[in-house]
C-alpha cells in the first residue's frame, strides 16, 4: 500500500527547516548506502550526527506522532531517525531495494524496515525531474508531492529517484518498523479503520455497527501485531 500523507509540517515549520537545510554542510550520499545501493546512488546527504539533521528529524517524528493518518497507515512500533538528502545537477538514485535492517548509530538499536517514507521540502515546480518511482504488482507509480507532504510505501518495493535536471530536490527519508509487519494485513486494517471512521460520522461512534467493527479491528490487530 502506498499512502500520501498531507500536511506533516506547517508552512512556518517548512520555512524554518528549509533555511537551516540550505545552510547545512552536505556530503556524499553513498556513505549511508548498502553495497548494492551505493552503485546506483548519486546525491548529497547530511551526516547522521549533524545538528540540523537531528533537530529537524525530531521535529518530524513529533509531528508524525500527532498525525492520525500516519498512525493509521503505518501502525508504527519504531521510527528510524530521519535522514536528509539533496539531488541537483543531474543527480539520481537508480532502482534499488532498501536494506531490511537499519542500525541506529546513536543507540545501537536494530530496526526492521517495513515501511519507507519520503517527506518533501521543495514544491514540485521548484525543480525538474526528481520523481520518486515506486514499483508494485500494479506497475510503476511516480510521486512528486507538495512541500510538507509525505509518501509512505513498503520497503520491499523496488524504487528509484529520477535525475534532477533543474533546481534542487531536498527531502527527508526514513524507515518505520510497524507493529504489523505484513503489508497486506496493514492494508486491511487501514481500510477497516477508515471505514469505521466513516460509519462514526454517519451513525455515531456508539452505534451497534461501529462498536462491532471496532471490536473486529482490535481483535485483528491483537492477532497480527508482533
**Calpha distance 210→207 (Å, rounded):** 5
- pLDDT, residue 170, reads 98
**Calpha distance 101→110 (Å, rounded):** 6
Residue 116 CB partners (closer than 8 Å, separation 6+): 98, 152, 153, 154, 155, 157, 159, 173, 174, 175, 176
Note the pTM of the prediction, 2 decimals. Answer: 0.93
What residues does each domain of the chain span?
A: 3-178, 183-224
DSSP 114-145: -EEEEEE-S-GGGSEE--EEEEETTEEEEE-P
> pLDDT tens-digit profile of 130-150?
999 999 988 999 999 999 999
- pLDDT, residue 44, reads 96
Whether 183-224 and 3-178 are alike in CATH topology: the answer is no
Q: 178 and 76 in contact (C-beta within 8 Å)?
A: yes
CATH of domain 183-224: 4.10.860.20
Closest CA to 157 of 143, 171, 172, 144: 143
Q: 197 and 215 in contact (C-beta within 8 Å)?
A: no
CA angle (35, 162, 119) in 5-degree steps: 85
pLDDT under 70: residue ranges of the chain: 31-38
Cell 521540502 identifies what position?
Answer: 121
- pLDDT, residue 158, reads 97
CATH class (in words) of the domain with range 3-178: mainly beta
H-state helical runs in the chain = 11-22, 35-38, 51-65, 68-74, 183-203, 208-224
**Calpha distance 41→96 (Å, rounded):** 9
Closest CA to 5 of 196, 172, 202, 192: 172
- pLDDT, residue 29, reads 82
Amino acid at each position: 500500500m502506498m499512502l500520501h500523507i498531507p500536511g506533516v509540517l506547517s508552512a512556518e515549520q517548512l520555512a524554518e527547516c528549509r533555511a537551516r537545510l540550505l545552510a547545512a554542510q552536505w556530503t556524499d550520499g553513498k556513505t549511508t548506502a548498502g553495497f548494492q545501493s551505493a552503485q546506483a546512488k548519486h546525491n548529497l546527504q547530511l551526516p547522521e550526527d549533524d545538528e540540523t539533521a537531528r533537530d529537524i528529524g525530531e521535529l518530524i517524528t513529533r509531528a508524525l506522532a500527532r498525525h492520525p493518518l500516519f498512525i493509521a497507515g503505518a501502525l508504527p512500533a519504531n521510527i528510524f531517525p530521519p535522514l536528509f538528502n539533496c539531488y541537483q545537477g543531474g543527480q539520481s538514485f537508480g532502482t534499488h531495494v532498501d536494506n531490511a535492517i537499519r542500525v541506529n548509530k546513536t543507540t545501537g538499536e536494530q530496526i526492521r524496515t517495513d515501511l519507507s517514507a519520503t517527506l518533501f521540502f521543495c514544491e514540485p515546480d521548484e525543480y525538474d525531474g526528481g520523481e520518486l518511482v515506486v514499483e508494485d504488482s500494479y506497475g510503476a507509480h511516480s510521486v512528486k508531492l507538495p512541500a510538507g507532504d509525505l509518501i509512505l510505501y513498503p520497503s520491499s518495493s523496488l524504487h528509484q529517484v529520477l535525475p534532477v535536471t533543474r533546481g534542487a530536490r531536498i527531502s527527508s527519508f526514513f524507515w518505520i518498523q510497524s507493529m504489523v509487519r505484513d503489508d497486506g494485513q496493514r492494508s486491511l486494517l487501514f481500510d477497516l479503520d477508515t471505514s469505521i471512521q466513516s460509519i462514526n460520522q454517519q451513525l455515531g461512534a456508539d452505534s451497534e455497527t461501529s462498536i462491532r467493527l471496532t471490536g473486529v479491528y482490535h481483535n485483528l490487530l491483537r492477532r497480527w501485531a508482533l
